[in-house]
Chain A
Amino acid sequence: MNRRRKREKPDAEIDVGAFADIAFLLIIFFILTTSIMRSTGQEVSLPQAQTPEDRQVDEKTPSVNILADRILFGEDEENMDRVSLEELRSKLFQLNMHDAEDQDRMIIVEVAEEVTYEMYFRVVTLISDAGGIVALVEAQ
């Protein structure tokens, strides 16, 4: 009787070379299309209210008027000083708002129609940096 020949073991292996190629192509796609960017900015404290008209502000609340060509700052609407951004910064920091109660941190910000967001952003981030809460005023 003939001895049976030992059956040769089949070489069972999945070719994963192409797999890796596809994967690396996908990686290249994601690297090219992803932009890992850290945003910079400022957290702005806004009064959180459903009915802003119910909020009362003290007459002595400091206010900032942003007009197209100038910025006014003062505690009295009749007597507001024209200030530069640097002057506004030092006046705001003099108010020591970081340790104050919420109602003493309010800064009324009035913005004229033609004021750009860039100017508004600069003033508002300055107020937040000084510890103030930006009180929004609706146009009358």
Chain B
Amino acid sequence: MPVRRRKKVKMMLPLASMGDIAFLLIIFFMLVSTFMKDTMDYDPATGADLRELQSPEISVVVDQEGKLWLQGLEAGVGQLADAVENLVGQRRHDTPVHLSVHKDLKRPDYMPVIEALSEAGVRVLMVGLQESDS
């Protein structure tokens, strides 16, 4: 009896769609990531009844050494109001600016920053951690 050789089946996984999904995910992560240009070390202040804030359009940080960072770049307090005004343009009243300050800083370190933001006329959202009930 003749023996028939079974035809070899060529197995192939279509990987092209996998690459598409992967690249979509990469694009997503690239859009939501913000890269810190330098290190900013700060401990946020804690408070009660804090709310979830909308995403920042502009971020201002005063770190534990009292250094000021605007959008991740070191800046000077003297130029802060003008720099923020340039960033927000005409939309100053509806542009949220997140202000994060190291909790142990004293008045001379944080008050000029708050005054500069007030001068720029932007919406200041102070960032802090919700106090735990325990």
* Chain A residues within 8 Å of B, Cβ to Cβ: 16-17, 19-20, 23-24, 26-27, 30-31, 33-34, 36, 38-44, 46-50, 52, 111-118, 120-122, 124-126, 129, 136, 138
Main secondary structure of the interface of B (DSSP, over half): mixed
Convert B97-134 into 0s and 1s, putting 1 for each residue whose CB lies closer than 8 angstroms to a CB of A. Answer: 01001111111111100110111010111111110000
Say yes or no: A41-B125 contact (C-beta < 8 A), given A20-B19, A125-B47.
Answer: yes
* Pairs A–B under 8 Å by Cβ, sample size 6: A27-B25, A34-B33, A43-B126, A111-B111, A117-B109, A138-B115
In the bound complex, residues from chain A placing their C-beta under 8 Å from that of B45 are 117-118, 121-122
Q: Within B7-55, which residues are at the interface with A (CB < 8 Å)? A: 15-16, 18-19, 22-23, 25-26, 29-30, 32-33, 45-53
> Are A41 and B50 closer than 8 Å at their CB atoms?
yes
Query: What CA separation (Å) do A63 and B93 show in the bound complex?
Result: 26
In the bound complex, residues from chain B placing their C-beta under 8 Å from that of A23 are 19, 22-23, 25-26
Query: What CA separation (Å) do A122 and B49 show in the bound complex?
Result: 10
Say yes or no: A117-B29 contact (C-beta < 8 A), given A20-B18, A20-B19, A43-B124.
Answer: no
Query: What CA separation (Å) do A129 and B51 show in the bound complex?
Result: 10
In the bound complex, residues from chain A placing their C-beta under 8 Å from that of B53 are 38-41, 43
Query: What CA separation (Å) do A40 and B19 show in the bound complex?
Result: 36
Specify the chain A residue showing the minimal Cβ separation from B105.
A117
Say yes or no for B76: interface residue by CB 8 A criterion.
no
Candidates B18, B23, B115; contact of A136 at CB < 8 Å: B115
Candidates A26, A36, A38, A111; contact of B107 at CB < 8 Å: A111
> Are A40 and B128 closer than 8 Å at their CB atoms?
yes
> Are B114 and A46 closer than 8 Å at their CB atoms?
yes
> Are A34 and B19 closer than 8 Å at their CB atoms?
no
